Structure 1
Amino acid sequence: MNSALLAASTAGYTTPPLWRILTKSGYFIGLSAAIGATVTYATTVRPALRAPAGADGDAAVLHRRMARYLAWSGVVLLVTGYLQLAGRVARAGKGMPFSDALAPDRIWHFLRAPAAKGAWIAQGTIYAVQNVLLILTAVILAALFAPAARRRLDALALTALPLALATTLIAAVPAAKPKNTDSVLDLAFDQVHIVSGTVWLGGLAVLLALAGTRGRLGATTAGLLWADLWRRFSLVAMVCVGAVVLSGIWLGWRHVGAIDQLWTTGYGLALLLKLLLVLGLVAAGAVNQFWLMPRIAQARRADDTSSLLHLTLRHFPKVVWAEVALGLGVLGVVPFLTGSARSEAHSAQAASSASVFAAGAALALALAVSLIATAKASDALARRQPVVVS
């Protein structure tokens, strides 16, 4: 994105400084690494590695790669979390240079600041708890660098999972009483958006890293194992897509008052770019559901190990590479979503009503129906579509 063009598009928009862009994007990369990796391990990798018979060698290879990935995700979370905390310090009060905010004594002073008038808890205390959880998550994951700890991969990964989720969820705890129901829903939907997005993007990155082991996997067993991996993650991704879309609709409505604000305000331009990137992700997911998954299922039923291996470890990772690139683009845009298009355009602030909630319920129902229809259509294609491998 051309930041100068974005800043000039409206006088009410302020382009974030470079350090803010890097720290915020980096923080969400760290969350994606930790949350995405632990959730994907629990829902996809762990059950898939236990399922296939005769693939013990393949399972061992993926087990080792998964352990190393989780260990590095802990390091990434720790570094990006520290930089994000320093960014909070730099923006607090009257602000200070980011280089000064990196100092431990400045951070400690920020965390120990007293509660604001009318607050039930100091904001610094909430951030302190959040970062304690972050450190615990990072330490548990980084322990997997030790060969002895890798034998306890299940225990460590499943312990880190709720801690990683709590790292972001604790940020939704308000320091003062929320003004109204809409404020509570903003916090809730924001966390739904973050968690579902990090599981989706982080999970794609995990499977892409695991697919890099294909040269060490068995020619006859790897296809079956990876068919199961892709099938399981496709279900997880579909749930995440639904949650991202539903929460995004609420957050978009709260910040954008009219369609034309998407190209007449700085916030709107950033949101429009994000929407285009997410649509690209959804389109790539549609390719998986309607083209690759049916062919994989067909090859699996036909016991065509050659086609199965080619589809699961050649074709599928190519699409996932594109998804990961688009996902990084989304995270790169997130720091530009500052303020509100409604404020820039001086339009009325959004306020919920019975009709708004009724429309939201209808949209949620329609979304659920469409996702179920997508899964059924993919299954139908799998039953009749011939395998074509190029």
Structure 2
Amino acid sequence: MDELNADGIEVQLDTDQARLLAESKLVDVQPLSGHSFRLLPNGRVGAVRFEDLQIEVTPKHKLGVAHLMFLLGYAKNPGFRPDSVMAETYSDLWPAMAHSLVVSVERSLTLGLLQGYRTEQEALLTVRGRIAFEEQIRRRPGYLVPIEVRYDEFSPDIAENQILLAALHLMLGVPRLQPETRRRLLHLAARFAGVTRLLPGTPIPRWHRSRLNERYQSALGLAEVLLRNSSARASAVGVEMSAFVVVMWKVFEDFVTTALRDVLADHPGFVRPQLPAYLTGEGDWSQGMTGKGADDPHGDVVMDVDVVHLDDGGTPNVVFDAKYKLASSTGDYANADHYQMLAYCTALQVPVAWLIYAGGGQDIRRTIKNTGVDVVAAPINLRQSPEEVLARIRQIALRALDEVPALA
């Protein structure tokens, strides 16, 4: 179902499936009668798969798998390549992700398994590498052997390989994959002999981009997206479940923030994401909060602005806010986005706020009466290619800076 489906769908689930689906948080699960449940979207998209059932919530405007994975990947790594996901033709999320991972890892291993140096420490009867004197004294005071030593081992058991292997095993845990895809996943996993398999829930090890791991970087970006947002497990009652769940407003906000920082890094001044702005009190964002009460001089009404560009002296001059879905012009909170932008500009003394949202159409500039504040609603069409989406954000950012007299 579409994430904007207000009516939801009615499905038949047993008790364990309903509980696991509720735990995934993909949808709100409302019991009806017997084994009937109503599933309602709640701002998340993704898919939950059981042995014989899949529940999938798709982004608005039918945003494709490749587009969604690009937004996720770029938000964590601006170097994420759009061609890391090559399964747009799949209508089902799990085959799309599994096939993309297979092809990406196969490309990475064309020249064989990457190896690197890792520091090992163990007790030996002979010296290898360097003697760890502090460990020797702490563990074996007065003894000559065994000797605590540290040495560098040239090994495939490095962070890059651990991440790829963990992603392969994650996808192997997905029920009902195509036999050919599963065979290729198994074949690839077998090639990582000597690599430590990360246990579920283990933090993703850190790695650093370099010339040596360049051929791995595309696959690593995709693997990290899968590991951060997916899970595959068998429950205590034997129900196999795989889940890929993301909060779309957060995905969009993270993506826009990263893209704006990337564009504005080459221009005078600096960028602060989630900058605190105070509607009350005498302090400003640079002083920080000193208390939580109404008597706090910095104010007790604080707002976190998505992205603010400041000049070299630390004075805010442009406000950006990312909205995956604009507030309605009717209802209990009509035009709430414009109220929010006005509050940001008032607190930071900035004349223009750019409201970046997912959608089509042209920029719309509105001047707030009796304030001298302008709010520009700037849409980004996420159905366009990644290159076009990034170009659109660059256009918005540069237009915003052009309007600042000190930077023009």
Structure of greater relative contact order (alpha carbons < 8 Å, 6+ residues apart) = 1
Is the pair's TM-score, using the shorter chain for normalization, greater than 0.5? Answer: no
Higher percent of residues as strand: 2
TM-score norm. by structure 2 comes to 0.25
Higher percent of residues as helix: 1
TM-score norm. by structure 1 comes to 0.26
